[in-house]
Amino acid sequence: MARLKNKDYLLRRKFLLLLWEHEETQRILSFLEPNKQFVLNSYFATGKPGLSDDEALAYRKTRSNSEAFSAGKAFNELIRILDGTRVKTRPRVAPLVRPEIDAKLFAQALVNVAKDIRMKGSS
């Protein structure tokens, strides 16, 4: 497999960041297995959208060759999903792996759990 050029790395990163911008397009990523989502988020630094191109390329240099290879395979699978050429075996549900923890969403989930516990305890 040919090494990914810096220009192509930045294009793929920007594409993934665009997918993360909207809830509707985020769901596309859930068609990938969680470990493939993790490697894409890690290698392309999707949890750090404010990085400049130079900073993103410097970050890329800190990643291992095996992570680069895994991210390339995951990205290619994502493209096959988008263009409909991925072989479909059976329907499955996979969680959406977020590149960074959403503190507000996490706090709201804890509040909802506490409310449920309180409601069950009072009945």
pLDDT at 51: 95
Q: Is residue 30 part of a domain?
A: yes
Confidence of residue 86 (pLDDT cuts 50, 70, 90): low
pLDDT at 91 over 90: no
Q: Is residue 13 part of a domain?
A: yes
Domain range enclosing 21: 6-97
Work out how many domains the chain is built from and give that number.
Answer: 1
Q: Is residue 86 part of a domain?
A: yes
Q: Is residue 110 part of a domain?
A: no
Q: Is residue 113 part of a domain?
A: no
pLDDT at 10 over 90: yes
Prediction pTM value:
0.70
Q: Where are the alpha helices (DSSP H) in the chain?
A: 6-21, 23-29, 34-43, 53-61, 65-83, 103-122
**Higher per-residue confidence, 83 vs 106:** 83
pLDDT at 8: 96
Q: Taking a C-beta distance cutoff of 8 angstroms, is the pair 68, 43 a contact?
A: yes
pLDDT at 113: 81
pLDDT at 2: 66
pLDDT at 92: 58
**Higher per-residue confidence, 114 vs 46:** 46
Q: Is residue 23 part of a domain?
A: yes
Q: Is residue 119 part of a domain?
A: no
Separation CA 91–CA 33 (nearest Å): 13
